[in-house]
Structure 1
Amino acid sequence: MSEKRPVDAAGAVALIGVAALLAFNQVVIKVTGGGFGPIFQAGLRSTLGAAFLLVWMRAFRIPMSLPAPARTGALLVGLFFSVEFMMLFIALDLTSVSRVSILFYSMPVWLALAGHMLLPGERLTGRRMVGLVLAMAGVALAFSDRQSGAPSLVGDLLSIAGAMCWAGIALTVRVTPLSETRPETQLLSQLAISAPVLLVASVFFGEYFREPTALHWGGLFFQSIAIVCLAFLLWFRLLATYQANGVASFSFLSPVLAVLFGWILLGEQIGPAIWGALGLVAAGIYLINRR
């Protein structure tokens, strides 16, 4: 197995591109929500994403089956994935992209805390502890600001709950045999489990359609193809090529770009507290991930 190399110029450009796509996706979810109920939208996205991923895997002859020891882990991450996006899509339906992004991308905080308590090799170093404190201060500042970005207490809480579920996925993969399977197979299991879970859950959570137009359908297909498949697959390829700590250190860009996109494209009103919270969370994420 070849040794992974540090992130070079080409890798940095690709990582910035992936971060921008993931950030822009928050705006797309918000806009697409004008045509679909939030949970129904999430269920459709998982369904279409699974279909496109199946075609991709068949075209490149990537194994689709999971070994028996990995199936329990796959079920857990599929359920975490379902709840994560249920929380995220409802939160984006209730409040602004800027607020949701800052709180949702606090995921490394919860993963670092869980890893410190549960994984012997993930103890918090001095630098990571500083990052944790900064990011937590940013979350607290964003949560306390009730003026900027259409604040919603329920939306804020759901954003944090979604971040915790996201951390649960990463932790489950690390501690189960699922970590030994291909990333594409892991992603397929999450989509295949979340699609029926979310579609069934949508029965109990309001409307399915909100008079969708071509814009809303386009946003749904953009999420399913450009994000669920291509962006995630590119991220996996970058992780396979470059050192993991270098790749992870670019994750601070996603909340920064998401807030900027919400401000520029949606005209969201962002007060000084939200900008301050964004700076704290971004700095904290960088320090937590940079080894």
Structure 2
Amino acid sequence: MLCQGRPVRSLLSLLGTLLLGAATAASPAGAAEVSSAQVRGPRWAPAARATITPGVQMMTAGAQCTANFVFTDTRHRVYVGYAAHCAGLGEATETDGCETGSLPLGTRVDFVRGASLLEDGTALGRGRLVYSSWLAMQELGVEDPDACAANDFALVRVSRADRRKVNPSVPVFGGPVGLAEPPAQGEAVLSYGQSRLRPGTVLSPRRGVSLGPSYGGWGSDAYTLAPGVPGDSGSGFLDAQGRAFGTLSTLALTPLPAANGLGSLARELAFARQHSGLRKLRLVRGTEPFTG
């Protein structure tokens, strides 16, 4: 797992286990997305002034992860996605979402900027954990080993007071312009992570190449010039067309050293739509054009 902070873990221990985000049911890519202009409820902050966006740091009881994308539902509530293991209670090697403990729904999550090993960072806003694939699978009694090992997606509902600080655009790259399945091997991928182990933002935007789908299409792997590190967990991945396709879960040692293990967002989102209780949960497209 790639969250950073709770419990205290060495970097080497965090790199020891593969986990690819996945789910147990799929919907066609693009079926769970909405244009930012079509969302009548939320009013997005201008991208240049927004403080809660994809790539923002998220703190959960001391553990730091990175936001992937923005989502909404029929009640126009605003959600930010990150990895389910960001609220997990297990050690780095405890990656079975059907067995590993998690903080409960309702747990407070803070959005911060500039957090590092030496600084807590600046508070930007807060939210509450409202969906965890790990908790959902445990409640459902899921026994599919691929899903248990791989479905790693959670949603934090932004507080009403902080909703107007949100913009769904990905920093640097713009978009997302839609939803897609994981790209084929050799295709370009883009990501934006904000680990507190990586000072500054120079290495936050990352470019790389897809290693192709894995886990029967429920996940994928990718190499990036700056591999993900603890704290980057949950960060979103875009394909060469600016479509959201993945969420960062782990960094592998074997069989693909330093490869980023990604969950298939289309399938994670499909599972969440079925089991979160959030009606017509969907990805929100960015207000800024994709320029990656």
- Tell me the TM-score normalised to structure 1 length: 0.26
Q: Which has the higher helix share?
A: 1
Higher relative contact order (CA 8 A, sep 6+): 1
- Tell me the TM-score normalised to structure 2 length: 0.26
Q: Which has the higher strand share?
A: 2
